[in-house]
Amino acid sequence: MSSFKGHCHCGNTEWEAKLEKEQQGHILCHCDTCKTLSGGTFTLNQIIPKDALNVTKGGDNLGKYTYYGESGGFPVFFSFQGIIGKGVHCYFCKNCTSHVYHHQEVMGPDKIVLRTGLLDEGIKNFKPAAEIFGKAKLPWEKEVAETFETLPPS
Ligand SMILES: [Zn+2]
Ligand SMILES: [Zn+2]
């Protein structure tokens, strides 16, 4: 287990995440929600225990955006049906809007989705570990890791 530092664009928010060896990679999410929230074609993520994230600066001042969707936007290792009607809460720096982490109700209270692309080491050195919501991937994007139509089988 190693510690990784992250920060938002403006510097008001800083955090540290503890990741196991097998979590030190990016899960690419190609879902349509990720496209809209990020302005890019996919997001870089990892599911970690809530306790593994420590917001060291600006944690009291994070904005929160909640949406309810069919896909939930990120891997939840449950049946697709179970996702409907459950909220996804996105926590972001209120000043610059960088997304620090997301919490999906369907995953229970103790798991969060961390944006691995906002970790200093993550964006430099992590490799793609898997691709999810491959069905929504744009046709000109190459496959860079094992790709799932939606979520990996639970
Ligand atoms: Zn910021
Ligand atoms: Zn997504």
How far is the centre of ligand 2, averaged over its atoms, from the C-alpha of 138 (Å)? 13
What is the rounded CA–CA span in Å between residue 139 and residue 3? 36
Are 38 and 31 in contact by the 8 Å Cβ rule? The answer is no
pLDDT in tens, 66-111: 887 654 444 444 434 445 567 889 999 999 999 999 998 888 899 9
* Identity at 39, one-letter amino acid code: G
Which ligand has the minimum distance to the alpha carbon of residue 88? 2
pLDDT in tens, 115-139: 999 999 999 999 999 999 999 999 9
pLDDT band, very low/low/confident/very high, at 151 (cuts 50, 70, 90): confident
How far is the centre of ligand 1, averaged over its atoms, from the C-alpha of 25 (Å)? 24
* pTM of the predicted model as reported, rounded to 2 decimal places: 0.88
Which ligand has the minimum distance to the alpha carbon of residue 100? 1
Q: How far is C-alpha 73 from the geometric centre of its chain's CA atoms?
A: 9
pLDDT in tens, 20-74: 999 999 999 999 889 999 999 999 999 999 999 999 999 999 999 988 765 444 4
Positive/negative CA dihedral, 124, 127, 128, 130: negative
Residue 109, SS3 per DSSP: coil
